[in-house]
Structure 1
Amino acid sequence: MKRFIPAVIILYALVYMIYPIQNYTHQSVKKKDVSNKMEITYKENSIVLSGFKDDGNERYWGNLNNYTYMIYKDIDKYIYVNGQFYAIKGKWENNKFLLPEADAKRLFNLSGSKGSYTTTKTSGIQVCQNIDKEKVLTVLSSPHIPIDHAFVTKEPGQVPGAARDYRNGKHEGFDWYAGAIGIEITRQTLIHPLFEGRIVRIDKDFTELEFNHREVLLKEAADSKNTSQKTLDKLRGRQVWVQSKNGILVHYAHTSSINPDLKVGDYVETTDWIAKVGNSGTSNGALGTDEDLHLHSDILVCGKNFWEYGDISDMNNSLIDIFDKAAKAEQAATTNKNGSSLQ
């Protein structure tokens, strides 16, 4: 009996010690639920985004409900959230951005209305955490060549980083010109996605810039030494944007026409054609000639140009090697297929 009493006392003490811990846990859960309530400025059926930071390239970065977002200055049709770009119908007003409430609730995992919202426990999962050079090159390691039978250009003036009087002094993407890519191209040359994904933008209703207006834009861009995102967007001409997994977004620019069967939200494979090569947005496009036909492709990862994650020359060379391997593999597969069909 004497041995039993100390054991009971010890057991009683343990129960007493555990209970406050359990009670504290319940309290912390309740506190977490309360902290999930969020008040956001509301106006015109939209939430108001503000307090974001310009990274020096007119890309405004912010955080809402633990989701990283980015919006381009004076461009109100697209937003980047947690590794993905989305088509929206926003509005810039006095350096603040009005995002339709329906889009905000969907993209930032909110519930509620008119400025009073709650969040769920599943929010805050980041696709682009700790992104670096190695991760960028890894996610870009299996591209499809966007023009059949082509190789990526090696011309210094046609790769990212090439000097320009505008674009903040830098060419941002790869140009696919006849000759430099090993084949001839025309306005009928088809463009395929580098990676399968979801269409974010497809310019069906496109109006070419008037030549004089384009020249004014170029002069303003050169004089400012900091080309605005809005001007850059105009100079890219008719575009298609395809959002892929792992934060990859590709702009397909200067196209002459787009696939009429496609729309925003459609999922496209690398075997699908999304547009045809052209010169829209260029001086020759404004003049209505067939000169300067090419595809311009900007490759973004997690909202930034792929080459921003390392030395631009090293990043270019690494991606060119990846493109070359992909092109050789595709051409070998085509040769084998044609050889088999002849037997």
Structure 2
Amino acid sequence: MKRPSIYVAAVLLTIILVLLPPDNYAWLGKFDLGSSPPTTKPAESGDSSKKNEGTSIPAVQQMKSLPSKKISGTTYYPLTNLVQSKLIQAKSREVDGIVELTVNQENYQLVRNVPVYMRNGIYHPLTGGNMRWEEKDFWLPESFLEGVFQPSSDSSDAKSYAQNKEKISKMSADEMANYLSFVQTPIKGSKMKKSDSSIPGAARTYRNGIHEGVDFYTPTIGVPVTKNTPVYSLAEGVIVRVDHDYKEMTTPEREKILAAATNNNGQTPQDLLDRVRGRTVWIQHSNGLLARYIHLSRTEPKLRVGDKIKAGDYIGNVGNSGTSDGAKGNNEGVHLHLDLFLFGEWFWKQYPTLEEKYKILFRMFGQYR
């Protein structure tokens, strides 16, 4: 006697399915009715996830629509226009010749007329022209910009850079000494002796600045140095700069540079300082360490930018290039000046006392008594 009620229920269900629009069938998914899977609903014209697809202009294409000019055969773009077009974020200091960029969450730094740039604390060669200052603006080479505008799949490098900088900034002098203990001395048999004028932070009144690195002079390292003394790599790394074609300044040229430096509010502009460093080799070592080997009299002719190098490899000879004696063409004042950066910062930046600096240097190079 209950069979008619079953028929009535079936009829009612059929009527409901016919009258309801297809979008309301979703509740049937709870039951296995053997139906085929639903098709995806097409995006509507107002769907925000699809609205801008295919309409954005690549950054390189936008860049090439901006005003540019050829300088020595290389295409350059002015920093002001790049910032105004919102292609990059930038901080620039004309007086120091430094530009800091943020592009695609990556951090860059360039110095006027210097053939090297820093990306996330690691240094690389500028192979397509140096950044320049002309017409009251910084001008960036096209090849460099094309590289930085390449899409980045993640920001791991930028995150690591921030983490490394924070880690380094919190190191005690003992921890820093251990961190840098992997290096070897750049001059065979040399050790460091206490000499306050030869370590970082010492005054350099002739250019209204400070000493930024470590000096290896005959009286302070326990071995004699001449222009025939070889200089060796501190550790394995990659060559990012080698000045095979360095041309020594004349005394008037050097004095003109120093005069400009002393008028810079107590800080030597980095591009001018680069000139008085003379002939240099820059090597990006491991652990974020960049070493600049400065005032060389010669460089190993076989060295090329991008070459991998091992600890103890010969890179050049001690000299006095870039100094007042170098400008005079004599053999006085011969020494190696060594600059050391960690992820773009001076290794000694957070250590105000001589005791802390000596502790690190003696651990790195040994102590000469």
- RMSD after superposition: 3.4
- Structure 1 pair 64/309, CA: closer, same or farther in 2 (3 Å)? farther
Give the whole-Å Cα distance in 2 for the aligned partners of 1:287 and 1:250.
27
- Structure 1 pair 68/313, CA: closer, same or farther in 2 (3 Å)? farther
Give the whole-Å Cα distance in 2 for the aligned partners of 1:300 and 1:255.
19
- Is 1:66 equivalent to 2:105 in the alignment? yes
Instruction: Give the AA of the match of 1:128.
Output: Y
% identical aligned pairs: 30
- Structure 1 pair 36/256, CA: closer, same or farther in 2 (3 Å)? same
Q: In structure 1, which of residues 184, 188, 195 is the aligned counterpart of residue 224 of structure 2?
A: 184
For these two proteins, the number of residue pairs brought into alignment is 300
Could you tell me which residue of structure 2 aligns to residue 252 of structure 1? Answer: 293
Could you tell me which residue of structure 2 aligns to residue 128 of structure 1? Answer: 161
Instruction: Give the AA of the match of 1:258.
Output: T
| CA drift at 1:28 | 6.9
Q: Gaps (5+ residues) in structure 1?
A: 1-8, 14-22, 111-118, 329-343
- Structure 1 pair 38/223, CA: closer, same or farther in 2 (3 Å)? closer
Equivalent residues in 2 for 1:70-81, closer than 5 Å: 70-72=109-111, 74-81=112-119
- Is 1:197 equivalent to 2:225 in the alignment? no
Q: In structure 2, which of residues 178, 181, 192 is the aligned counterpart of residue 152 of structure 1?
A: 192
| CA drift at 1:98 | 1.6
- Is 1:140 equivalent to 2:180 in the alignment? yes
Q: Is the 8 A contact 1:243 1:249 kept in 2?
A: yes
Could you tell me which residue of structure 2 aligns to residue 83 of structure 1? Answer: 121
Could you tell me which residue of structure 2 aligns to residue 277 of structure 1? Answer: 318
- Is 1:53 equivalent to 2:94 in the alignment? no
Task: After superposing the two structures, state which structure 1 stretch, 138-147 or 197-206, moved more.
Answer: 138-147
| CA drift at 1:300 | 1.2
- Structure 1 pair 122/276, CA: closer, same or farther in 2 (3 Å)? same
Give the whole-Å Cα distance in 1 for the aligned partners of 2:271 and 2:102.
23
Instruction: Give the AA of the match of 2:184.
Output: H
Equivalent residues in 2 for 1:3-82, closer than 5 Å: 12=30, 38=59, 40-42=62-64, 43=68, 45=75, 49=79, 51=83, 52-54=90-92, 57-72=96-111, 74-82=112-120
Instruction: Give the AA of the match of 2:125.
Output: A
Give the whole-Å Cα distance in 2 for the aligned partners of 1:95 and 1:196.
38
Q: TM-score normalized by structure 2? A: 0.70
Give the whole-Å Cα distance in 2 for the aligned partners of 1:64 and 1:139.
30
Q: Is the 8 A contact 2:218 2:224 kept in 1?
A: yes
For the residue of structure 1 that corresponds to 2:216, the secondary structure is strand
Instruction: Give the AA of the match of 2:216.
Output: W
Q: Is the 8 A contact 1:259 1:274 kept in 2?
A: yes
Q: Gaps (5+ residues) in structure 2?
A: 1-26, 32-42, 70-74, 84-89
Instruction: Give the AA of the match of 1:41.
Output: M
Give the whole-Å Cα distance in 2 for the aligned partners of 1:153 and 1:95.
45
Could you tell me which residue of structure 2 aligns to residue 6 of structure 1? Answer: none
